[in-house]
């Protein structure tokens, strides 16, 4: 979503860093371009103006202009102000002293509210909690079935009461949570295509009777400035504690997402980065500012790897590498673990100064290749995976037919596997051992 804005800002700051010394005129010119980039990205014009003023005030100071690296100093100021605009620090949800913790979600239809309820439940599940879902959207066709299906996939209980009112469903869910020790209780309330008084009154009743510990508004980041207006109306009519921004993997202009915290004063708690149930991340303002400025987000990348990579399998792989018994089956397992972390282009955006449409296109191609490679290895016999040297021309043709690929694809896989084994052997001979392998293969940590 922030790709165009990020690209524009990186170009401006690359030019700024190229100057040996900066003058007020240099900074003014750069800030004018930054303001235009923000407005083109759909940032609220008042927010953009205020941000530029704060940056200008700090960037033209003596300590910046007299610095040995003035361009980098200006970039740091922009980063800090952008992080402050987004909220400054992470906003965490606190748990109630007497369970269950009640989390009430609300938002318009189409914002991804029901899916977000399941994503949030999965997030708490992976934090060691035992969440429960309440299907209180009785108006949208199949909303209850959708939430129940997602809950079943995640093995998270979902409370539904056909024919009951939303309040009745939520009270039954709260009683079940208290009786069985489930927490948090995540409530999926009803949405509408637009805000109306009937919906708001129902939400006010639920909030009044249930006294939720957290009321979170689910906002579709692709709706632009309408998202800001909608957030203000919900907050004014019902009262909101924080927001979850969905669809940040979309291709719409992302400026409204930058504006929403400044305009409403509400913290962004989570962001949705895809359609799968694991595509929900805690929102870190400083890390998002780093991503937008092309500085990467290594901390989030490491956390994603730690949450995804099976440590037992990683240790077993390290042992096989030491013994030089790394097979194609092990290679396939590593491909699966890398793919489970998400699309490569999204992962590489977390690497500092990743940019360029051509590079992104290459990564999208690589992502497709990973799927091909898994299919190819799956089409091999156990003997072929253990000893690839026996794969001759006829075997390659059979493997290609079985995997729906070409012989060239099979050859490319075998070549990359051979190169990887050579690299591992070289690292071992150089005395790299586990530390060296960890540096060369970060996904195996």
Instruction: For residue range 16-70, list pLDDT tens digits in order.
Output: 777 767 788 888 888 899 899 888 888 888 888 999 999 888 887 766 666 667 7
206 pLDDT higher than 70: yes
Each as own residue / partner, the long-range contacts of residues 385-389 (CB below 8 Å, 24 or more positions apart, any chain) are 385/327, 385/328, 385/329, 385/332, 386/327, 386/328, 386/329, 388/328, 388/414, 388/417, 388/418
> Burial, 16: exposed, middle or buried (Cβ in 10 Å; 0-12, 13-18, 19+)?
buried
Q: How far apart are the first and last CA of the chain?
A: 30
Residues in CB range of 44: below 8 A, 6 or more apart: 225, 228, 255, 256, 259, 262, 263
8 Å CB contact between 141 and 135: no
Rounded to whole angstroms, how far apart are CA atoms 79 and 366? 31
Provide the pairing of β-strand 268-272 with 280-282.
antiparallel
**Selecting from 1.10.260.30, 3.40.50.300, 3.90.79.10, 1.10.760.10, what CATH number does the domain 302-444 have?**
1.10.260.30
Degrees to nearest 5, angle at CA 190 with 187 and 192:
150
Return the pLDDT at 330. 78
| Six token digits for residue 424 | 């591992």
| CATH superfamily assigned to domain 102-285 | P-loop containing nucleotide triphosphate hydrolases (3.40.50.300)
Whole-number average pLDDT of the chain = 81
Strand, helix or coil at 121? helix
Find the range with the poorest average confidence among 89-93, 184-188, 438-442: 438-442
Q: How far apart are CA 215 and CA 243, in angstroms?
A: 9
Q: Which CATH number is 3-85 given? A: 1.20.120.140
Number of H helices, E strands in the chain: 21, 8
382 alpha-carbon distance from chain centroid: 37
Taking CA atoms, 240 is separated from 38, 215, 235, 290, in Å, by 27, 5, 5, 27
- In contact, 92 and 268? CB cutoff 8 Å: no
Cα(282)–Cα(271) distance, rounded to whole angstroms? 6
pLDDT at 309: 57
Where along the chain do the CATH 3.40.50.300 domains lie? 102-285
The answer for residues whose C-beta is within 8 angstroms of residue 124's C-beta and 6 or more apart is 131, 184, 186
Q: Which residue intervals of the chain bear CATH 1.20.120.140?
A: 3-85
Cβ–Cβ under 8 Å, residues 443 and 309: yes
- C-beta separation of 159 from 132 below 8 A: yes
Annotate 407-425 with three-state secondary structure: HHHHHHHHHHHHHHHHHHH
- Digit-coded pLDDT (tens) for 398-414: 999 999 999 999 998 88
- pLDDT for 56-106, tens place per residue? 888 877 666 666 677 778 888 888 888 898 888 888 899 998 889 999 999
> CB atoms < 10 A from the CB of 143, how many?
19
Q: 125-160, pLDDT tens digit by residue?
A: 999 999 999 999 998 878 999 999 999 999 999 999
Residue 345 has pLDDT above 50, yes or no: yes
Compute the average pLDDT of residues 226-250. Answer: 87
What DSSP string describes 160-193?
--TT--HHHHHHHHHHHHHHHT-B-EEEE----S
Percent of the chain with pLDDT over 70: 78
Positions of CATH 1.10.260.30 in the chain: 302-444
- DSSP string covering 36-61: HHHHHTT--HHHHHHHHHHHHHHHTS
């Amino acid at each position: 979503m922030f790709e165009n804005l990020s690209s524009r800002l990186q170009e401006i700051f690359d030019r700024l860093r190229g100057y040996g010394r900066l003058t007020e005129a240099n900074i003014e010119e750069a800030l004018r371009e930054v303001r235009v980039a923000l407005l083109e990205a759909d940032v609220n014009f008042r927010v953009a103006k205020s941000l530029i003023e704060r940056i200008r005030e700090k960037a033209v100071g003596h300590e910046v202009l007299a610095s040995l690296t003035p361009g980098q100093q200006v970039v740091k100021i922009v980063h800090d102000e952008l992080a402050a605009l987004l909220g400054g620090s992470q906003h965490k949800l606190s748990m109630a002293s007497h369970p269950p913790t009640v989390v009430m979600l609300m938002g318009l239809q189409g914002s991804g509210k029901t899916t977000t309820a399941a994503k949030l439940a999965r997030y708490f599940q992976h934090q060691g909690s035992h969440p429960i879902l309440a299907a209180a959207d009785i108006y949208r066709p199949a909303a209850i079935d959708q939430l129940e299906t997602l809950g079943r996939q995640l093995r998270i209980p979902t409370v539904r009461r056909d024919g009951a009112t939303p309040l009745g469903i939520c009270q039954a869910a709260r009683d079940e949570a208290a009786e069985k020790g489930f927490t948090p209780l995540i409530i999926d309330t009803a949405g509408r295509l637009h805000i109306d008084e009937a919906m708001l009154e129902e939400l006010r009743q639920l909030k009044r009777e249930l006294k939720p510990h957290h009321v979170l508004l689910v906002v579709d980041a692709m709706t632009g400035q309408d998202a800001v207006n909608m957030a203000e109306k919900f907050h004014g009519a019902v009262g909101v504690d924080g927001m979850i921004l969905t669809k940040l993997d979309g291709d719409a202009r992302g400026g409204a997402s930058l504006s929403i915290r400044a305009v409403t004063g509400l913290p962004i708690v989570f962001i949705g980065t895809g359609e799968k149930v694991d595509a929900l991340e805690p929102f870190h303002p400083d890390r998002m500012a780093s991503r937008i400025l092309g500085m990467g987000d290594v901390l989030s990348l490491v956390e994603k790897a730690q949450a995804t990579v099976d440590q037992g399998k990683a240790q077993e792989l390290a042992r096989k590498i030491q013994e030089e018994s790394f097979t194609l089956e092990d290679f396939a397992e590593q491909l699966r673990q890398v793919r489970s972390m998400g699309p490569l282009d999204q992962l590489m955006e977390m690497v500092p100064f990743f940019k360029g449409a051509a590079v992104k296109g290459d990564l999208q191609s690589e992502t497709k290749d990973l799927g091909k490679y898994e299919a190819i290895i799956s089409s091999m016999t156990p003997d072929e995976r253990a000893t690839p040297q026996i794969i001759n021309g006829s075997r390659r043709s059979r493997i290609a037919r079985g995997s729906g690929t070409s012989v060239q694809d099979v050859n490319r896989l075998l070549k990359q596997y051979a190169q990887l084994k050579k690299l591992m052997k070289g690292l071992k001979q150089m005395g790299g051992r586990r530390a060296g392998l960890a540096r060369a293969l970060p996904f195996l940590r």
